[in-house]
């Protein structure tokens, strides 16, 4: 079963919704996604005056970590811990997709709930073409992680640019961009090339991902 929440944000999400209804997917109210764990994590983030992203690891350094850990203790969080920090049992919000067809046409799409405790009205990388999402004849790319870092490095477009200008194959272009362009933030991406190569890369602890091909190959992964 797949459940789709109605987000109140952008027109393209309404289009998404119509398409999903046409596919027969169940649509639920936003309240479905308001869980005790997420309310708890939001409270932790507010108390620690930080924002959280995938795996609920704080974006900043040691001070923020201790603030978050202290807030967790005080609020008696759900008890799940990663790297000494509290985490939610709810998965990250990003849903990204990069595809290529048998003619070499590529497409990418990215949807996100943003970062927990983000500033009201913040626009992340996901809807910015060239930052969190990009597709051209060389490749299609969809990013996840700390949007500000992704925007600063125009990460998705840079993968295509490195392929185009340096002549590198997809995985090498991805590795180059993750290493050289994401120096100040945690993020990751999935990508396919116009010739059917599949690649991913991230500089954070892990990234939920999957791959499926026409001939039935399927693979999922979280860690490196
Ligand atoms: N990149 C998104 C943002 O910064 C978060 C995510 O979904 O990974 O808004």
| Confidence band, pLDDT 50/70/90 cuts, at residue 46 | confident
135 with 193, same domain: the answer is yes
Our answer on whether the CB atom of 147 is closer than 6 Å to any ligand 1 atom is: yes
Centre of ligand 1 to C-alpha 115, Å, is 6
Confidence (pLDDT) at 9 = 36
Domain check: are 147 and 68 in the same one? no
Residue 19 lies in a domain: no
Q: Above 60 in pLDDT, residue 62?
A: no
The predicted model gives 9-22 an average pLDDT of 56
Does 60 reside within a domain?
Answer: yes
On the question of pLDDT at 139 being above 80, the answer is yes
Report the residue among 121, 132, 202 best suited for mutation to probe ligand 1: largest number of ligand atoms under 8 A from its CB.
132
Q: Establish whether 50 is a catalytic residue.
A: no
Instruction: Return d(Cα 57, Cα 44) in angstroms, integer.
Output: 12
Mean pLDDT, rounded, of the chain: 80
Task: Kindly report the CATH number assigned to the domain that includes residue 194.
Answer: 3.60.20.30
- What pLDDT does residue 58 have? 42
Averaging pLDDT over each range in 17-21, 46-50, 56-60, which range is the top one? 46-50
In a domain, 45, yes or no: yes
Residues 185 and 159 in one domain: yes
Q: Is residue 27 part of a domain?
A: no
CA-CA-CA-CA torsion for 31, 34, 35, 38, nearest 10 degrees? 170
CA of 90 to the centre of ligand 1 (A): 15
Chain-centroid distance of CA 36 in Å reads 22
- Highest mean pLDDT range out of 45-49, 91-95, 188-192? 188-192
Residue 175 domain flag: yes
Domain count, the chain: 2
More confident site: 9 or 83: 83
The response to whether residue 112 sits with its C-beta less than 6 Å from ligand 1 reads yes
114 falls in which pLDDT band (50, 70, 90)?
A: confident
Residues 200 and 103 in one domain: yes
112 shares a domain with 79:
no
CB 126 within 8 A of CB 147: yes
Structure tokens belonging to residue 45: 């983030």
Residue 5 lies in a domain: no
Residues 79 and 165 reside in one and the same domain: no
Residue 47 domain boundaries: 36-87
Instruction: Please tell me the residue having the least CA distance from ligand 1 atom 5.
Output: 114
Task: For ligand 1, say whether the CB of 125 is within 6 Å of any of its atoms.
Answer: yes
Within a domain: 53: yes
Write out pLDDT tens, residues 196-220: 999 999 987 778 899 999 999 999 9
R_g (Cα) of the chain, nearest Å: 18
Higher pLDDT, 68 or 45: 45
Q: Which is the catalytic residue, given 50, 64, 94, 154?
A: 94
Percentage of residues in the chain with pLDDT exceeding 90? Answer: 46
113 shares its domain with 205: yes
- Number of the ligand 1 atom closest to the C-alpha atom of 143: 1
pTM here is: 0.77
Residue 184 banded pLDDT, cuts 50, 70, 90: confident
Q: Give yes or no for residue 149 having a pLDDT over 60.
A: yes
User: Does a structural domain hold residue 11?
Assistant: no
Co-location of 41 and 109 in the same domain: no
Say yes or no: 112 and 195 in one domain: yes
> Residue 119 C-alpha to ligand 1 middle, in angstroms?
13
CA–centroid distance, 208 to ligand 1, in Å, is 13
* Same domain, residue pair 122 and 195: yes
Give the list of residues 6+ apart from residue 38 with CB closer than 8 angstroms, or none: 88, 90, 116
The answer on 192 and 132 residing in a single domain is yes
Please list the residues that pair with 192 across neighbouring strands: 140, 198
Examine the domain organization and report whether 170 and 190 are in the same domain: yes
């Amino acid at each position: 079963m797949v459940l789709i929440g109605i987000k109140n944000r952008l027109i393209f999400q309404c289009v998404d919704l119509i398409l999903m209804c046409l596919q027969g997917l169940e649509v639920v109210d936003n309240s479905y996604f308001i869980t005790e764990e997420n309310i708890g994590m939001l409270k932790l983030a507010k108390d620690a005056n930080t924002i959280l992203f995938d795996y609920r690891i704080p974006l900043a350094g040691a001070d923020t970590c201790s603030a978050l850990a202290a807030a967790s203790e005080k609020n008696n969080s759900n008890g799940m811990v990663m790297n000494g920090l509290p985490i939610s049992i709810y998965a990250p919000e990003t849903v990204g997709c990069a595809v290529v067809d048998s003619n070499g046409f590529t497409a990418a799409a990215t949807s996100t709930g943003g970062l927990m405790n983000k500033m009201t009205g913040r626009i992340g990388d996901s809807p910015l073409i060239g930052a969190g999402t990009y597709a051209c004849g060389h490749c299609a790319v969809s990013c996840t992680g700390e949007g500000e870092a992704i925007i600063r490095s125009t990460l998705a477009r840079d993968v295509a640019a490195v392929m185009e200008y340096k002549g590198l194959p997809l995985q090498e272009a991805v590795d180059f961009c993750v290493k050289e362009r994401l120096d100040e933030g945690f993020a990751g991406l999935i990508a396919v090339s116009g010739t059917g190569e599949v690649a991913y890369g991230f500089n954070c602890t892990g990234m939920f991902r999957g791959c499926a091909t026409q001939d039935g190959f399927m693979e999922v992964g979280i860690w490196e």
